[in-house]
Every structure is written in C-alpha cells, then in structure tokens.
Amino acid sequence: MARASGLGVSALRFYDGAGVLVPAWVDPVSGYRWYGPEQLEEARLLARLRRAGMPLADIRLVLAGWCGADTDLVRGLLEAHLRRLERGLSDARGEFSTIRALLELRENPMTTPTTDASSAATAGAAATTVRLTVPAPELAAALDAVRFAAGTDPELPMLGGVLFDIEGEALRVVATDRYRLAVARAATTGHAGPRVQILVPSPLADAMRALLSEDASARLTVDGARVALETGERQTAGRCLDHDFPDYRRLVRLPAGRRAVVDVADFRDAVETGPVRASEVREEDGSSHDLTLLKVAADGAVTVCEDGDDDQGLVAVNRAYLLDALTAGARDRLVLEFGTPTAPLAFRRTDTEDAFSLLMPVRLEN
C-alpha cells in the first residue's frame, strides 16, 4: 500500500490513528496493516489532498463524500480549499511586496528611511497651520527641476510625491524614485515657525505647477494634512500623502568628487548618438534599458565610452535617466561630479548649489 499510494508507512500509521484511513484488518501480533483493494484509490486521493495542503478535518469529509458518492460535498470542499489557497497566495504576495520594499530601503541609499528628526518635522505639519508666500517663477523652476525624479512604483508609496520642506525663509522641494534624487530651493516669506515637511502627491504637484504661469506671488497654505496653493483668483488643493519621505539631507552628504563642466547641448548630442550597452539588470517585463558609459579625464573632459572599454573608472548610468537630468538642469552648462564608479553621479548648476540631482550608477558585470 505504501509504495502504490505514495504514502509512507509512518503516514499510513498516522492516518489510521486519526481515523482518516483505517485498514481493513490489523494483525494483532505483528501490527501489520491490511487494506482492501478499494482503499488504494482512497489512499491516493488522500496523498493528493495532503500535497495540496488541505486540513485533516476537510480530508476526512472529502473521503467520506468520495466513498458515499456525494459529489456536491466533495466539490464544495475542494472549491472552498482552493479559495483559501488563493487568499493565502494574495496575502503572501502582499507580504512579499512589503518585504521587497523594505529590502530596497536597506540596499539602496536613495530610499533610506527618515530620521527621527525629520519624522518629527513631518508629524508637526499635522498640528500646524503654515502660511507663506513664494515667487511663482521660483516655485515653478523648483518643481521643474525635481518632478522628473518622483517615483511611480505603487509598492513604494512614500516616493510617489514631491517633498515640500519648509524651514526658515526657504522652501526646498525634493523627489526621488530610489534611482534618482533631485533637490531645488525657492525663497519664501511669512513663515517663522519650526521646520515643517509635507509630501505632496505627484498629481497635486502637477496641478500646482500648472497655476504658476504668471510672474507673481503664490500663497502656500498647509493646514494639517491638507495643502493649498493660490495664485491670483485660482487655487488648487488636496491632501498630503501620509508617508515618511527618505532623509534626503543624509543622502546628499557625499564625499567631494571630480568635477567637470559640460556644455549641455554638446554632451546631450554625444549621449544620444553615442554607443550604449544593454543593462544586465532586467525589468519585471523582461526588457532592459540602455546604459551610457562615462569617463572623466584628468583635464576634466567627459567622454562617452564604447562598450568594450575596460577602464576600471567607468561610470555606467541609465541613458534615459541621464538625459532627464540634463533637461531638468535647465542650463546651458552643468557641473558633473564623479565619485567612485558605485557612488551617485551629481548634476549641479554653475550658478547655485541650491538645485542639483543625483543619479545612481548601474553596477557592471564583467
């Protein structure tokens, strides 16, 4: 029976003791179990149900229905167990998604959790009404400089917006999708209180940007979890995201690297027409993205390199992300700051340190 049914001797002994599959006769001397020919089918069914993870109580009912030809009972029990498995799989997917998101936070410095101080500042927004005025052109330029870096991954909702960090007479706007991080600053008046941080959903940030078309002042109001922007007679408002944004101030404290000034038009042309390398990192849909390999010479010249270049100092970046950063820089000339091949590549303006972006490199597999 054990060999024919797929149930081991110990399993047969267990199911006998549980009253699920009782042998036709047991030798009182040797303890050997004898099963009738019709019980082989039941034993094989039992083995299948256990492999499917069905609870013992349900198996007992299935076998009873099977022997009694109660097909409605058997079918109902099978469907109920299948629904439990599907719910369990859905729950497991949700837990695994959370674990993967937490793993991303641990592995990628672009998504380091907020510190206690910044979390306290964010929490302070819930109990504070803040009103300030900001020049519309400055806020528009700041949003343009960071919006490209906002995340879109539903598994990382804390990255799905633009951080408004209000402190003193400055409003810093920040966005990151864990591969890119962008920071810009606008001057403000009217707020003399403690630091306040709010996370504005990306669609609301876009609606705010659409209002900033005139050379005038804009009024920003934060009232608990609600934020509103007014320009003239027009207004847009909505709720802030209830998530902690990464501690960007820690992320932007990088060791000084080699700086190189590039003409954006010429450099963009070199990137768009230059050689690329297919990424070894595959996306979920099986596609890959093009990489641009960069090298900075001792004289500060930045070169787009061929795929076969074996220079150990090459920095590989997502080409599309690189082009986005050049566009968001909004200047004819930008400063590229190179650290190690695994350190973020920084894009800085020549006229201010208040607006910049970082781009995580892609690790090359030789």
pLDDT tens per residue, range 349-364? 998 888 999 998 887 7
Q: What's the pLDDT at 280?
A: 54
295: which 2 tokens? Answer: 């090298």
Q: Are 273 and 355 in a shared domain?
A: yes
Q: What's the pLDDT at 283?
A: 46
* Helix, coil or strand: residue 348: strand
> Which residues, at least 6 apart from 327, have a Cβ–Cβ distance to it below 8 Å?
148
Q: Are 193 and 157 in a shared domain?
A: yes
Cα 349 to chain centroid, rounded: 28
Longest CA–CA separation in the chain, Å: 101
Q: What's the pLDDT at 260?
A: 92
Q: How confident is the model at residue 202 (pLDDT cuts 50, 70, 90)?
A: very high
Q: How confident is the model at residue 33 (pLDDT cuts 50, 70, 90)?
A: confident
- Domain-terminating residue out of 84, 104, 138: 84
Q: 89 lies in a domain?
A: no
Q: 92 lies in a domain?
A: no
Q: What is the pTM of this model?
A: 0.67
Q: How confident is the model at residue 115 (pLDDT cuts 50, 70, 90)?
A: very low
Domain residues for the domain of 47 are 2-84
What's the domain count of the chain?
Answer: 3
Q: Which of 176, 185, 318, 327 is nearest to 251 (CA)?
A: 176
Strand partners, 65: none
pLDDT reading at 4 higher than 50 = yes
pLDDT reading at 320 higher than 90 = yes
Q: What's the pLDDT at 174?
A: 96
Mean pLDDT of all residues belonging to the chain = 84
Q: Which helix (H) or strand (E) holds 17?
A: helix 9-17
- Domain-terminating residue out of 61, 84, 107: 84
Q: Within 10 A of 362 (CB to CB), how many other CB atoms are there?
A: 22
Q: Which of 64, 104, 57, 47 is nearest to 84 (CA)?
A: 57
Q: 322 lies in a domain?
A: yes
Q: Are 226 and 295 in a shared domain?
A: no
Rounded CA-CA distance 353/337 in Å is 12
Q: 365 lies in a domain?
A: no
Q: Within 10 A of 215 (CB to CB), how many other CB atoms are there?
A: 9
Positive or negative torsion for Cα 157, 159, 165, 171 = negative
Q: What's the pLDDT at 144?
A: 96
Q: 99 lies in a domain?
A: no
Rounded CA-CA distance 189/186 in Å is 10
Rounded CA-CA distance 163/154 in Å is 17
